[in-house]
Amino acid sequence: MDHFPTNWGRPRNDGFDAYGTYPIAQRPYNGLGNDVFSEGVQRTQQPIVTGTSVLAIKYKDGVMMSADNLASYGSLARFKDIQRLHPVGTNTIIGAGGDMSDFQYIQALLDDLMVEEFTEGDGDGHALGPGEIHEYLSQVMYARRSKMDPLWNSLIVGGVKDGKRFLSYVDLLGTTYSASTLATGYGSYIAQPLLRKAVEGNEDNITEEEAVKILEQSMKVLFYRDARSLNKYQIAKITSDGVAISESRSVDTQWSFADGIRGYGAQTQ
């Protein structure tokens, strides 16, 4: 859909023959297919306000996840205080890239689910863990893609349940996978190799401090290279003690090298 009201035109064509002076066949046509509302219900979309990468790793005590606070409108850095990490229940966090309004819908969906779960179960010892949340989300995402009406997101679900770490991915196609390091969007190209190098085969030894360092380093690299990223991000950890999402933070960056590089800073020529 065209989102610029100035392009919407008028509801009726000026050429409308108000007095019916022409034979029907020659009347000005103003019917279907001529205005911007002609598509009727719009199902397929493109993401509008978007979040960029989410990163997540397993470490000794659980799972750690990070995402920056930016929601972009195309290339415009539109909203700079958006939280893209969302707790679900007591031991799960989901992180989202992609369309932020779809993500808000998913948050509402999961909040409803938790309320329903509470009224039905109410502490019977069968609370939904990260595995169940991920399965549910996959079903929702796959069902929507099958209706050709996708929720335009890449989601990472992480958590700890019964002492077991869980980390899994699902996206707008319903594609799922799990691994000890995950990254969505640009992060899957830029950060994932760094994360794998630091974490693969080392999941049981990485301390909390080390895990934070690994994610900070990756977020910094992403900020240097991903034009849709922001140097303001949050880190969430999920351990057997529950979930904790940090305040927004930033990393120190160094841009002096950019001075002489054409295409980076302000150019004099």
Partner 1 sequence: MPDMVTLSYPSPSSKPQQRQFNPYSENGGTILAISGADFSVIAGDTRQSEGYSIQTRYAPKVFRLTDNAVLAVNGFAADGNMFVKQVRQRLEWYRHAHAKDMPLRAIARLIQTMLYARRFFPYYVYNILGGIEEDGSGAVYSFDPVGSYERESCRAAGAAQSLVQPFLDNQIYFKNQVALPGHPHPQHLPLLTVIQLVIDSFTSATERHIEVGDGLEMFIVLAKGSPLYGVENIAGVQEMTVTNEGERIFVVRRNLKRD
Partner 2 sequence: MFRNTYDSDNTVFSPQGRLHQVEYALEAVKQGSAAVGLRSKTHSILLALKRSTGELASYQQKMFRIDDHVGIAIAGLTSDARVLSNFMRQQAMSSKMAFNRPVPVNRLVSAIADKAQVNTQEYGRRPYGVGFLVIGQDQSGPHLYEFSPSGNSYEYYAMSIGARSQSAKTYLEKHYESFADCSLEDLIKHGLHALRETLQQDKDLNVNNTSIGIVGAPSVHEKTTNVSFRILEGETIQPFLDTMVPKDAPAAAPAPPASTDEDVQMAE
The residues carrying an active-site annotation are 44
3-state class (DSSP) for residue 257:
helix
Interaction between residue 7 and partner 1 (CB under 8 A): no
Separation of alpha carbons 243 and 153, rounded Å: 22
In 3D space, the residue among 103, 104, 167 whose CA is nearest the CA of residue 134 turns out to be 167
- Counting contacts by CB under 8 A, is residue 247 touching partner 2? no
Q: Given candidates 99, 102, 132, 171, which one binds partner 2 under the rule CB under 8 A?
A: 132
Classify each residue of 4-27 as buried b or exposed e, where b means 16 or more C-beta atoms within 10 Å of its C-beta.
eeeeeeeeeeeeeeeeeeeeeeee
The residue among 170 and 230 lying less far from partner 2, judged by its C-beta, is 170
SS3 49: strand
Cα–chain center distance at 137: 13
Task: Compute the least distance from the CB of residue 203 to partner 2, in Å.
Answer: 23
Side-chain half-sphere of 120: how many Cα atoms within 13 Å? 9
Binding mask 135-164 for partner 2 (x = CB under 8 A): xx--x-------------------------
DSSP secondary structure of 107-167: HHHHHHHHHHHHHHHSSSS----HHHHHHHHHHHHHHHHHTT----EEEEEEEEETTEEEE
Count of chain residues binding partner 2 (CB under 8 A): 11
What is the largest distance, in Å, between two alpha-carbon atoms of the chain?
85
Of 130-138, 152-160, 213-221, 251-259: span binding partner 2 (CB under 8 A): 130-138
Residue 224 partner contact from partner 1, partner 2, none using kind-dependent CB cut-offs of 5 to 8 Å: none
Regarding 14 and contact with partner 1 (CB under 8 A), the answer is yes
Member of 30, 104, 131, 217 binding partner 2 (CB under 8 A): 131
Which CB atom, from 19 or from 257, has the smaller least distance to partner 1? 19
Residue 90 lies near partner 2 (rule: CB under 8 A): no
**Residue 176, interface with partner 1 (CB under 8 A)?**
yes
249, 232 contact by CB (below 8 A): yes
Nearest distance, CB of residue 146 and partner 2, angstroms: 14
- Where does this chain bind partner 2 (CB under 8 A)? 120-121, 124-126, 128, 131-132, 135-136, 139
